[in-house]
Amino acid sequence: MKPILIHEVGPRDGLQAESAVVPTELKLDWIRRMADSGVDIVQVGSFVRGDRMPQMADTDELFRILAKETHGALLSGLVLNEKGLARALDVGVPLICLGVSASETHSRKNTGMGTEEATGRVIAMALEAKAAGRQVQVSVQSAFGCGFEGAIGEDRVLGIVVAYLEAGLTAISLADTAGHAHPEQVRRYVRRILGLHPGAEVTAHIHDTYGLGMASVYAAMEAGARTIETSFGGLGGCPFTKVAAGNVPTEDLVHGLQRTGQRLDIDLVSLVGVTKDVAKHFGRELPGCVYKTGPIQAKVMA
């Protein structure tokens, strides 16, 4: 079985929910340390309007600085519209992430577009990014339910997936924006996508709003998801959903994988160090467990 890939989204999904803006130099420190820890991808930020989301106003600058450096992880950035794509292409983002919400309400709150319009535009942007030589990941947001609309029909979610696949876009993320996912649902969706296209590379982006985050992540991995998106300390949450809550903590998932002999190449001590610094900066405890308790292996060796 191929190793599970870790996509660290804390610098984007984690920080976007914070009211305080993190200084650029401090962001760079956290991103560099995460990128050198052994995780596979680090999401640096999103290309949105700085006046609408000040926490992401320095995304272009971050990429310009990081592009001059060498790190062990692939760097990704989130794009919402054509202007954002132009900015991402201009600063050389290697992996461009785009998405469509399966919830009409969430789609309009998040992007100002309905789901049908957003799907067409996102596919066109993804193909443009591929033509420019960039790696692309497309997502279905609110894939497992919506805080505003409740349950989202499975066929609606799979309809967006089919549109992606028909356009030749096979790196697909299922995003649990509202945290409504449960393990059996996640397992079924991942298997259905792989049934539609066995070569698809499925990513799971799970929020822990109602306490089922880690269980749903393991269900995704068991069903064949290749990549899991996590955030340092479990920080984060979409500010445009009804009940915002954090992600599955990166260091907790890595600790769980390492307990079974997987991803021993990732420096867990380094991940814990970053999370401790993030918690110290914000002056509060984060949802994660391992950064507070310490890894089991570290305690045995002490």
CA 65 centroid distance within chain: 22
**Of all helices (H) and strands (E), which one includes residue 6?**
strand 5-8
- CB-neighbour burial class of residue 92 (10 A; exposed 0-12, middle 13-18, buried 19+): middle
In the block, residue with structure tokens 């000040």 = 54
- Say whether 146 is catalytic: no
Catalytic residue among 97, 146, 238, 289: 238
- CB-neighbour burial class of residue 117 (10 A; exposed 0-12, middle 13-18, buried 19+): middle
In the block, residue with structure tokens 């380094």 = 270
Q: What's 21's DSSP letter?
A: P
Q: Which has the closest alpha carbon to 18: 6, 30, 7?
A: 30
Active site residues: 238
